[in-house]
Amino acid sequence: MYSLNPVKAYDLGLVKQIEVDSVMSENDFNSAFIQVESINRSGNNITAKLKIDVDSGNGIKRKSVTSNSKKNDLFELSGKNSRYDGLKIYEIDFGNQQIELTNGVILKVGESQGGMNDEVMRFMIRKTVEEHLKKERQLASKGVKVLTLFFIDKVRNYREYDVNGNPVHGRFSKWFEEIYNEEISKPNYKGFISNKVEELHNGYFSQDNKGRVKDTGGETQADDDTYKLIMQEKERLLDINTPLRFIFSHSALREGWDNPNVFQICTLNETKSEIKKRQEIGRGLRLCVNQEGQRIFDTNINRLTVVANESYDEFANALQNEIEQDCGVDFSGRIKDKGKTQKVILRKGFEADPKFLQIWDKIKFHTKYNVNYDTDELITKAAKAVKEIDETKKPSIRSTKKRILISDEGVEGQLLSDSGSDDYNLSIEMPDVLGYIQSKTELTRTTILEILKKSGRINEVLINPQLFMDNVVGAIKGVLYELMIEGIKYEKIGNSIYEMKMFEENELEIYIDKFTHKVASPDKTIYENLMPLQSDVESQFAKDCESSDNIEFYFKLPFWFKIKTPIGTYNPDWAVVFKGESKIYFVAETKSAGQELRGSEKLKIKCGKEHFKEFKDVEYRRVATVSELSK
């Protein structure tokens, strides 16, 4: 019997090719965004998973956090993002699946405040309509009816009822008609479709005993009625003369319904969908048919576009994991079993070896630093740096379309298009600009104001306050760190040292890879068997140290050997004892010749150089090879 898994079916062209149009908001961090993703209970512990804007120290990022009765301060959970100052979760209600904030706002699972959720969903509908119209125009002469499926999780978003029980538009159907009328009126589609917009879309939902549509879980008698209705109308849907082209359906609609001529699927869920990707895209994977019911095999035609409010990487990773778990497919391109780890063994007695101690006793001391810079110089240079920051862009929504490529190596993507839209009139609350920049740079408000005024860019704060502030902070920090490090001085902190016991307390277990150095001469180093390294340059350096007659002793400085700098800690690479006419003690930083260093790396290496000036008979060098130590 021949087994046909999803990878083989995709490879043989027996299903549609898949394209993912990822629609995400960008630079939208100007309000206290809160989205309730889920509420769970384990024993007596009730937790809420929220998506908020977290200050990570390098700008604001939208991340998921978990809150409970003890961790309920959104200011703390957000990394002290000022937008959440004073805002806490008053109650997490598991029964009603909602949270209440201390300002009285109640948010149910899937609901949010702040941000651009409505704008994102409108944009998703627009991208879906655009795709549909392009596809319908392309296939008009081939007799192929084009269908689009919208999945929604709340029926009221498509259809509501007035006080008399009459059906009225929900926001999705209202947005759809507005957007469709805008798109179809463009010159490309003049006279293309003559049907009225209300004839082109409909919702297939379960109904109550009064005939009103309702939300369901996908497994009730009402769902069976919906299922039969769709199945009975499947042939009519394929008729090019039937106006209906856009179908809105509940996202919990059970498996079993699909249609070969679904070319676009858009998921407008407010809650995090539990529907699997394979089930979601399965509604439209079958090869399309023409008016005679004949299957079309052209891969340029058979392309399913999924419009999703998640990144392509998230979508592709979820799809690949499902194919692996549900179908038993082992993608050879992914490393599943990296093999057993091996313990890095320290050579017995190394801590008493005179060759080791002769350099360790010189470099084992902790230091502190002092900096000195001229404020007027800082203002001048920082103003110039702020003047040169990137243009401050309005909050926007970006659409990134990629074709999914499924092979034995896994799920990958091929970029097809990248576009954005920023035509949204958002009301933005103005933050304390000087206070925010001060908290990140520790400069005075007067100095910051002078920098902003001299930069000539201060008015851009009105366009997108958070983006402007983060860009300004980055520019000022860059100048500030350079000036601080130019005037940095290190001194030993009394007798404070790196304790020898830290070698034993921080034993390593590593995966063997191509960079790992297998020690052949343990008497020249502190390691008995393996030396964990991270690059070809480091690996070759270790081999050359081991084989060179000029190197008496060498070892990779441990990860906990860290030098404090204004821009974080710095871990040098090597300690080396060089035999020449007299012994020379080196601390070496290995970088390949011509390697372009990031700004922070350059500054940390400068700090390393200044740090080791405090140690008698120790030279600090940046080298690519062992031979450079003798120059």
Query: Do 136 and 231 belong together in one domain?
Result: yes
- Token pair recorded at residue 455: 């930069």
Q: How confident is the model at residue 423 (pLDDT cuts 50, 70, 90)?
A: low
Q: Are 463 and 392 in contact (CB under 8 A)?
A: yes
pLDDT of residue 327: 54
Does 474 map to a domain? no
Q: Residue 588's domain is classified under what CATH number?
A: 3.40.1350
Q: Are 59 and 135 in contact (CB under 8 A)?
A: no
Is the predicted pLDDT of residue 199 greater than 50, yes or no? yes
Q: Which residue has the higher pLDDT, 416 or 207?
A: 416
Q: How confident is the model at residue 6 (pLDDT cuts 50, 70, 90)?
A: low
Least confident of 167-181, 349-363, 404-418, 477-491: 404-418
Q: What does the alpha-carbon distance between residue 78 and residue 65 come to, in Å, rounded to a whole number?
A: 8
| Mean pLDDT on 115-127 | 85
Is the predicted pLDDT of residue 225 greater than 70, yes or no? no
Q: Which residue has the higher pLDDT, 331 or 419?
A: 419
Does 70 map to a domain? yes
Q: How confident is the model at residue 119 (pLDDT cuts 50, 70, 90)?
A: confident
Which DSSP letter does residue 97 get? T
Q: Which residue has the higher pLDDT, 458 or 114?
A: 458
Does 478 map to a domain? no
Does 186 map to a domain? yes
pLDDT of residue 75: 92
pLDDT of residue 194: 80
Domain that holds residue 103: 32-113
- Token pair recorded at residue 155: 């029926």
Q: Are 539 and 515 in contact (CB under 8 A)?
A: yes
The domain tally of the chain equals 3
Q: Model confidence over 341-359: pLDDT tens digits?
A: 688 899 999 999 999 999 9
Percentage of the chain with pLDDT > 70? 81
Least confident of 7-16, 294-303, 440-449: 7-16
Percentage of the chain with pLDDT > 90? 37
**What does pTM read for this prediction?**
0.64
pLDDT of residue 445: 94
Is the predicted pLDDT of residue 594 greater than 90, yes or no? no
Query: Do 147 and 91 belong together in one domain?
Result: no
Q: Which of 274, 299, 332 is the last residue of a domain?
A: 274
Half-sphere exposure at residue 441, Cβ-oriented, CA atoms within 13 angstroms: 31
Is the predicted pLDDT of residue 585 greater than 50, yes or no? yes
Q: What does the alpha-carbon distance between residue 144 and residue 49 come to, in Å, rounded to a whole number?
A: 44
pLDDT of residue 331: 45
Query: Do 102 and 136 belong together in one domain?
Result: no
Query: Do 156 and 105 belong together in one domain?
Result: no
Q: How confident is the model at residue 402 (pLDDT cuts 50, 70, 90)?
A: confident
Q: What does the alpha-carbon distance between residue 299 and residue 304 come to, in Å, rounded to a whole number?
A: 10
Question: What does pLDDT average to over the chain?
Answer: 82
Does 619 map to a domain? yes
Does 461 map to a domain? no
Is the predicted pLDDT of residue 461 greater than 70, yes or no? yes
Q: Which residue has the higher pLDDT, 232 or 482?
A: 482
Query: Do 146 and 98 belong together in one domain?
Result: no
pLDDT of residue 532: 87
Does 229 map to a domain? yes
Query: Do 346 and 224 belong together in one domain?
Result: no
pLDDT of residue 132: 95
pLDDT of residue 422: 59
Q: How confident is the model at residue 37 (pLDDT cuts 50, 70, 90)?
A: confident
Q: Which of 253, 274, 295 is the last residue of a domain?
A: 274
Which class for 538: exposed (0-12), middle (13-18), buried (19 or more C-beta within 10 A)?
A: buried
Q: How confident is the model at residue 518 (pLDDT cuts 50, 70, 90)?
A: very high
Query: Do 105 and 121 belong together in one domain?
Result: no
Q: Which residues pair with 107 in a beta bridge?
A: 99
Residues sharing a CB contact under 8 Å with residue 579, sequence separation 6 or more, in sequence order: 549, 550, 551, 552
pLDDT of residue 336: 34
Query: Do 137 and 265 belong together in one domain?
Result: yes
Q: How confident is the model at residue 322 (pLDDT cuts 50, 70, 90)?
A: low
Listed residue (286, 277, 281, 280) closest to 324, CA to CA: 277
pLDDT of residue 222: 44
Does 552 map to a domain? yes
| Mean pLDDT on 12-29 | 79
Q: How confident is the model at residue 275 (pLDDT cuts 50, 70, 90)?
A: low
pLDDT of residue 252: 47
Q: What does the alpha-carbon distance between residue 248 and residue 358 come to, in Å, rounded to a whole number?
A: 76
Helices (DSSP H) in 140-196: which residue ranges? 171-184
Query: Do 38 and 166 belong together in one domain?
Result: no
pLDDT of residue 111: 78
Q: Which of 113, 148, 175 is the last residue of a domain?
A: 113
pLDDT of residue 1: 39
Query: Do 255 and 348 belong together in one domain?
Result: no
Is the predicted pLDDT of residue 411 greater than 90, yes or no? no
Listed residue (479, 482, 480, 492) closest to 611, CA to CA: 492
Query: Do 56 and 144 belong together in one domain?
Result: no
Query: Do 54 and 131 belong together in one domain?
Result: no
Q: How confident is the model at residue 276 (pLDDT cuts 50, 70, 90)?
A: low
